Structures are given as structure tokens and as C-alpha cells.
Amino acid sequence: MNIIIFGPQGSGKGTQAELLAKKLNLFFFESGRFLRKVAKTDPSVDEVINKKGELLSDEKTFSLASRFWEEKVPNGKNMILDGYPRSIKQLELFEDWLKERGSKIDKAILLEVSKETSIKRLSARRTCEKCGKVYNLITNPPPKDGCSCGGKLIQREDDKPGSIEKRLSKYAEVTEPMIKILEKRGILERVGGERGIEVISEDIISRLKTKDVE
């Protein structure tokens, strides 16, 4: 079973994706974390996503991600993707890649939260400079001494209110047209994201057909 999970920034999609990956034994791919790791060794990627605070082109993102998938999950099955695809073009590229492997997207999960919730949650987010682990001062606070790996916790520039507003606007512009396509296909599930983590997780699992989970 292949699942894509998305929602506005701060919706908790990363947390839910990791929970589902463990519960359903799925390969977990988080695009933001993946690209930040690539940026550490690729100056061109670092320039775009870190120094300019912009998104890579759809083609470049797919090129990097697909090489990774081909290494980790070459059959294109039993995957859960967080933050990818995020546009119609990315959706088309990903589905072509899956089709070549006799696979497809089985379910799309959209976590819905208000703009106010997105800003509040992201403003409280802290990231470890060393290992990249993400904490949240509200929902998932770090240990008193900082990250368990010993790294320093920072607030990324794109987690500050002004940057969050821009990211939410970009999400509405780029991702919402894709949502309409997935909804027309009947594979989209809209899930309320302003509840407890486990409540949301169980809600998502209850929406997955038994034959899809097996």
C-alpha cells in the first residue's frame, strides 16, 4: 500500500506519517528532512533551500528523490510519503515512476488545521543542528538538556511567523490544486488535525480498508 500524507505547515503530518509507517510497516520518506540532508553535501541545493529559502524545481526534487527511492524501495510498494508530492507536476512525475513498477497511490491523507494553529505550532518548533531531529515546545518538548544526541536546538528561519505566512500562501497556491485532483479520484481522506496525536492516528487507520492494509 502506498500512502501520501500532506497538509499545511504545522498540521502534524510528519508525526502521523512516522506513526503509520511503524504501525503498518511502511517505508517512510519525509521530503524536507531528505532535502536538508542532501543540502549538506550539495552546494546547489543548499543555496536554494537554505540560503534563499526557496523550493527546488519539481524536476530537481524528483530527480533527487527518485534516485533515493530506487535504492531504498525499488519496487515502489509499501511507502508512505510526507511532503511529497506537493504539486500537480510532482504528482505526475511520482505516478509515472510508480506505474513503471506496476504500483500506484492507494490513499491520500489530508490533515486539516487552521492558519492560526499552523503558525502557533511552527513557531514553537525547534530543530537539532546536529542530527536534524525536530521537537515542539508545545506538543513534543525536548529533554531539559536539549537533544538526546547532544546537538544544539535552533529555531529555523522558516519557522518564524513571517516565513510561515509565506509558506502557507505557497501551499495554498501550489498544493490545493493537487488536492482537488486527488479528491475527484476518490482516494483523498480529509482528517481533522487539531486533536490528540493518537486519536488522529486511529482515525486515519480506521479509514484505510482492511484489504489495503494487509
Each residue of 46-74: pLDDT tens digit? 888 877 777 889 999 999 999 999 999 99
Question: Helices in the chain by DSSP H: which ranges?
Answer: 13-24, 31-39, 43-46, 58-72, 88-99, 115-123, 161-174, 176-185, 197-207, 210-213
Between CA 186 and CA 66 the distance in angstroms is 26
Indicate if the pLDDT at residue 40 is higher than 80. Answer: yes
pLDDT reported for residue 160:
80
Indicate if the pLDDT at residue 212 is higher than 60. Answer: no
Q: Is residue 106 part of a domain?
A: yes
Each residue of 111-162: pLDDT tens digit? 999 988 888 888 888 888 888 888 888 877 888 888 989 899 988 877 787 7
Q: Is residue 122 part of a domain?
A: no
Q: Is residue 159 part of a domain?
A: no
- Beta sheet of 79-82, edge-to-edge order: 27-30, 79-82, 3-6, 107-112, 188-192
pLDDT > 90: what percent of the chain?
Answer: 55
Each residue of 63-119: pLDDT tens digit? 999 999 999 999 999 999 998 999 999 999 999 999 999 999 999 999 999 988 888
Q: What's the CATH code of the domain at 23?
A: 3.40.50.300
Please choose, from the candidates 6, 32, 29, the residue with its C-alpha nearest in 3D space to the C-alpha of residue 18.
Answer: 29
Indicate if the pLDDT at residue 184 is higher than 80. Answer: yes
Q: Check: CB of residue 28 under 8 Å from CB of residue 18.
A: yes
Between CA 6 and CA 14 the distance in angstroms is 9
Q: Is residue 134 part of a domain?
A: no
- Beta sheet of 134-136, edge-to-edge order: 134-136, 125-128, 153-154
Q: Omega of the bond prior to 85 within 30 degrees of 0, cis?
A: yes
- Asked whether the whole model's pTM tops 0.85, one would answer no
Q: Is residue 127 part of a domain?
A: no
Q: Is residue 128 part of a domain?
A: no
Of the pLDDT bands very low, low, confident and very high (cuts 50, 70, 90), residue 211 is very low
What would the DSSP string read from start to end of 2-13? -EEEE-STTS-H
Tell me how many domains the chain contains: 1
Between CA 201 and CA 193 the distance in angstroms is 10
Q: Is residue 11 part of a domain?
A: yes
Q: Check: CB of residue 68 under 8 Å from CB of residue 34.
A: yes
Q: Is residue 165 part of a domain?
A: no
Q: Check: CB of residue 51 under 8 Å from CB of residue 19.
A: no
Domain region containing 57: 3-113+174-213
